[in-house]
Amino acid sequence: MAISHALLEFIPSIFLGVPEEGTVLSILPGHQFVLQGRGKEAVRLAAVGGFGAVLVTALLLPLFMIILPPIYGPIKPYIWILLVIIVIYMFIRLNNSLKSFLWSVALFLLSGIMGYIMLNTPISSNVSLLCIFTGLFGVSTLLFSLSESSFVPTQNKFHNFKINGNILRGIFAGGIAGTILGFLPGLGPAQGSIIAQELSGGGDSESNREGFLVAISGVNTSDTLFSLVLIFLIGNPRSGIAVYINNILENFDFAHLILFVFTALTAVSLSLCLCLKLGDTVSNCIEQINYKKLTWIVITFMSLLVIGFSIWYHVNIPFILIAYITAISLGLLPHYVGVNKSNLMGVLILPAIVIYFICSENFQILITYWPKSLYKRI
């Protein structure tokens, strides 16, 4: 289910929330193709990228088994430093002016503070994460699309999809970036896409955009598989599905690892066929659907999910609604100030940095030399 979801989720992300062509910085890679009437081609790029990246991860598994277990222990105290370096690089890479740089830092810190607060409340982390991610990345994107009076242009019934060097490079970039993503806590596909973009060549040319879309899809699927592999390699699950499986299986041994790898290969093969079929169907039907009405239906459904699960877990409804509205408002800001929405991944990265720093030897040395009165307050 996890592998299938990682691949098939690109269909709604490609065809929903499409902004106007002028709002370049808020356009997702798949949206660029949809605006050009190349929705079918975008689906094929995403499908091939996800399929190929899982193959790359499976082939490189013996290498990971040799390298990762010995190095994880020594570098664990310094993971927070790696996260800080990646965040700083992300700020520099995604911004070309002081104004956008400052906005990126502000959004990263604001989302990080919100994430830290929400994850440290008595509320179930299931509801907290559903609330903040739905608001930051889901509903906010759809609302901005509605405010821009966007529409999906006529999609070409034929596609010009051919596997070339850029696509192959994107597959390998996605597979490698996905494994890096699975290894470092708090990072999401947004940060993985930056790593993948560097590995796949980046740039704004047509061929590089194709490789980039392939790489992003590869990041999603390979990260899903590698988060399961890490249960065996370092005994530390790095995703929701991995935590769930780790709770079910008391002893995750090599036999389980092989089972999951081959299950993943089977799932991604079936999902590839399903993704192509569903993608073509959606591409053909999207023009006949009232786009604005469909968007409102999705927004309503997502909001009802947040409220429904809040009631199920006996969460204070007024509090969760305030958090939900705050997340939506914060998610709208990048669209209007012209910066990348990946800065909002601070919602997970900043809490991860804080936790790993507190657990590090550096923090223990630091508090040793602090005044006792200040130490007692902390």
Give average pLDDT by consecutive 10-residue segment, the chain, 378 residues.
Answer: 88 73 49 83 90 91 85 80 85 85 94 92 88 91 78 78 82 83 64 65 58 82 84 75 80 86 93 93 84 88 95 93 95 88 86 81 58 51
Phi then psi dihedrals of residue 314, to 5 deg? 60, 45
**Per-residue model confidence (pLDDT) at position 22:** 39
Residue written as token pair 């596997």: 163
Segments in 39-188 forming alpha helices (H): 39-59, 61-75, 79-94, 98-119, 125-133, 140-147, 165-183
CA distance 100 to 86: 18
> Rounded to whole angstroms, what are the CA distances from 312 to 127, 247, 299, 302, 315?
10, 22, 20, 15, 8
The reported pLDDT for the residue numbered 194 is 66
pLDDT at position 23? 37
Give the C-alpha separation, 253 to 259, whole Å.
Answer: 10
Residue 24 has what pLDDT?
A: 37
At residue 101, the pLDDT reads 92
